[in-house]
A and B are shown apart, each in its own frame.
Chain A
Amino acid sequence: MATVTTSTPDWSGRRSTLASIRLAVLTFLADPQWLIPSMIAPIVFGFVSYELFLGSPDLVVYVILGAGMMSMWGQTLYGSGWATGQDRNLGTLEPTLSAPTPYLFVVLGRILWNVVSGLIGIALVFVVVVAVSGTVPSIDNPLAFTVLFLFTMFTLAAVGTVFAAAYVYTRYAGFIQNVGEFAFYIGTGCMFPVIILPFWTNPIALFFPPSWALDALRYAAIPGYVGFSWGLGWDVVGGIGTTVAYLLIAGVVFRRVERHVLEVGNLQEY
């Protein structure tokens, strides 16, 4: 081997995020258990929501959005946090954190990959629901729908980033997330609109960016949809506002969490 000499480091957030995406893809391909959340669960969600919305005038759109977003939510949140939990289990959290790259960029890569694999889930839901119902859904405003769909994924990723910090913070994060998962499914309107839930739940839902984005998405997709009374425009504003807040929180939380784990020295615990 050549003599060990120093070379100018060439790390960047973008490169680390890409490396993290690559690792996530390789792990996905190497590990068949991922078929359950990314392929099998969406199909199950599809059938369940089909039964749930049977009789609704916009059955197909409701079903696809409901089951698809459940799948996205699971992939983004569960997958992003789980990967950090896996880092703890494998003992790779320490070598990863000892690299010069801030861990946030690694998490970001995982979230982006989970968003992509969540999209595969949505595509599966679409195929299943169209096959079962024999109807191809019509979207009220396809352009707005596409933009808002991407925006919704972004809001999920923002929440996923904050959740991932919990996995760095403590080995018990998985337990907390498992307990809260279904409350989030329902409370943020993944399965059905928040507006049909008891009124007291609505203000709580508004603390989460996907609640705004999903309501906006339904406004764009379903003609005559009645969601939050302020309508699509304010949904978008609220979604952007809460997403920005979450990203800022994530930045602060990650810095604090990284500092905290160095103070308590629990990185090796699993």
Chain B
Amino acid sequence: MTSAPAIEARGITRVFQSRKGFFYQDVTRTEALRGVDLTVETGEIFGLLGPNGAGKTTLVKILTTLLLPTSGTARVLGLDVTKETEALRARIGLVLGGERGLYNRISARENLRYFADLYGVPYAEREKRVNEVLAWVGLTEAADRRTEEYSRGMKQKLHIARGILHRPEVLFLDEPTIGLDPKSARETRKLIRSLIGQGVTIFLTTHYMFEAEELCHRIGVLSRGRLAALDTVAGLRQLVGGDRTIEAEDYGFEDSELAAVKRLPGVSKVVSEEYGPVTRLTIRVRTGDLSVEEVGRSLIGHGGLAVRERRTSLEDVYLDLVEEETN
């Protein structure tokens, strides 16, 4: 990795205004982003997680010059996203997920030729490059079929092919596996992973924790327009109270029992949730000092107690952070 960051955003805010009423007199302001700061290093795969409406796509659109921030500055590859758009657009790629975004009545090959021309892929290389990306995403056989005949997974692959056609230095992937069946999603992740070795900086937004954990060097959690956390997966685990999680389940626990568990050595957080008649205590453990047996001993008197240990998942981290931000 070089010292110059691929993406640098400082204090990005974005307010959307919608108007309603016969004379559009009712104005509603929605703060989609509220002061986002982040830096993504060159060659990194950066993941952005967040619930629906958290502002992920808004941030991607700002960084890819498709939306202006209300305030703040952002530079991608050293170029200002609001002022040096032409130069920047030639050097970045954008993959928006979904069924839309393709000319349905023409073939995948023609779609790619068209965008190759708009992106200035050297004319002499155009056919070679189109064939290359079609082969890379596994669409060579279907290249001359109209894209309206494509499955969702095939369309997604074509979106990715278009995104890398002009060999961008930074590739933005906005929920690239959403709505895909498990096989197509796995193939898409494989394609993304293979870009890592090719020196492309990747900015990925996703809802899927395992996807982010599997692919990303660092992860940011966006909640209600704010970056709630930004770290490696290991760092995020520590942030929410530890790498280990012990779960204890039975038919209800007394408050005094909860307090006793909280006093155990290494316990950073205890959350009690009810699942029908069963109560589950999720105990986040910061150190290796506390064992499952010790937790069991502290809850003595529970005949049907089930205690197990697992690694704190990214989903735990995500839910904790989003919950904290919401509260």
A residues lining the B interface (CB < 8 Å): 1-12, 15-16, 18-19, 22-23, 26-27, 30-31, 90-92, 94-102, 106, 259, 262-265, 267
Instruction: Assess A11 versus B61: contact at CB under 8 Å? Given A2-B132, A98-B94.
Output: no
* CB pair B66 A11 closer than 8 Å: no
Q: Which among B14, B118, B164, B169 is the interface contact of A11 at CB below 8 angstroms?
A: B118
Provide the residues of chain B in CB contact with A19, threshold 8 Å: 113-114, 117-118
* CB pair B119 A90 closer than 8 Å: no
Q: How far is the CB of B183 from chain A (nearest CB, A)?
A: 21
Can you report 13 residue pairs joining A to B where beta carbons are below 8 Å apart? A5-B167, A6-B91, A11-B119, A18-B117, A23-B106, A27-B106, A92-B103, A98-B66, A98-B94, A99-B118, A106-B118, A259-B68, A265-B58
The segment from B193-201, B212-220, B237-245 found at the interface with A is B193-201
Which residue of A has the minimal Cβ distance to B118? A99
A10 to B198, CA, bound (A): 22
* CB pair B89 A100 closer than 8 Å: yes
* CB pair A23 B167 closer than 8 Å: no
Provide the residues of chain A in CB contact with B102, threshold 8 Å: 90-92
* CB pair B61 A265 closer than 8 Å: yes
User: Which of under 10, 10 to 19, 20 to 34, or 35 or more describes the interface residues of B?
Assistant: 35 or more
Interface centre among B58, B65, B135, B166 (most CB of A within 10 A): B166
* CB pair B86 A26 closer than 8 Å: no
Instruction: Assess A3 versus B115: contact at CB under 8 Å? Given A90-B104, A92-B101.
Output: no
A262 to B63, CA, bound (A): 12
B265 at the interface (CB under 8 A from A): no
* CB pair A99 B89 closer than 8 Å: yes
Instruction: Assess A3 versus B114: contact at CB under 8 Å? Given A27-B106, A90-B103.
Output: no
A207 to B16, CA, bound (A): 36
Q: Which among B65, B120, B195 is the interface contact of A4 at CB below 8 angstroms?
A: B195
Q: Which among B89, B117, B122 is the interface contact of A98 at CB below 8 angstroms?
A: B89
Which residue of B has the minimal Cβ distance to A9? B120
Q: Which among B67, B120, B133, B164 is the interface contact of A15 at CB below 8 angstroms?
A: B120
Q: How far is the CB of B163 from chain A (nearest CB, A)?
A: 9
B90 at the interface (CB under 8 A from A): yes
A67 to B19, CA, bound (A): 42
Which residue of B has the minimal Cβ distance to A94? B66
Q: Which among A91, A99, A259 is the interface contact of B101 at CB below 8 angstroms?
A: A91
Q: 1/0 per residue B153-169: CB within 8 Å of A?
A: 00000000010101111
A15 to B123, CA, bound (A): 9
Q: How far is the CB of B17 from chain A (nearest CB, A)?
A: 8
* CB pair A16 B122 closer than 8 Å: no
* CB pair A1 B133 closer than 8 Å: yes
A16 to B164, CA, bound (A): 19
Provide the residues of chain A in CB contact with B118, threshold 8 Å: 11, 16, 19, 96, 99-101, 106
A5 to B197, CA, bound (A): 12
Instruction: Assess A263 versus B68: contact at CB under 8 Å? Given A6-B169, A95-B162.
Output: yes
A260 to B143, CA, bound (A): 36
Please give 13 more A-B residue pairs, beta carbons under 8 A apart, in addition to A4-B164, A4-B200, A95-B96: A6-B91, A7-B167, A11-B120, A15-B123, A19-B117, A30-B146, A91-B100, A94-B94, A97-B66, A100-B90, A259-B68, A262-B65, A264-B17
Provide the residues of chain A in CB contact with B185, threshold 8 Å: none
Provide the residues of chain A in CB contact with B133, threshold 8 Å: 1
Instruction: Assess A9 versus B90: contact at CB under 8 Å? Given A22-B114, A94-B101.
Output: yes
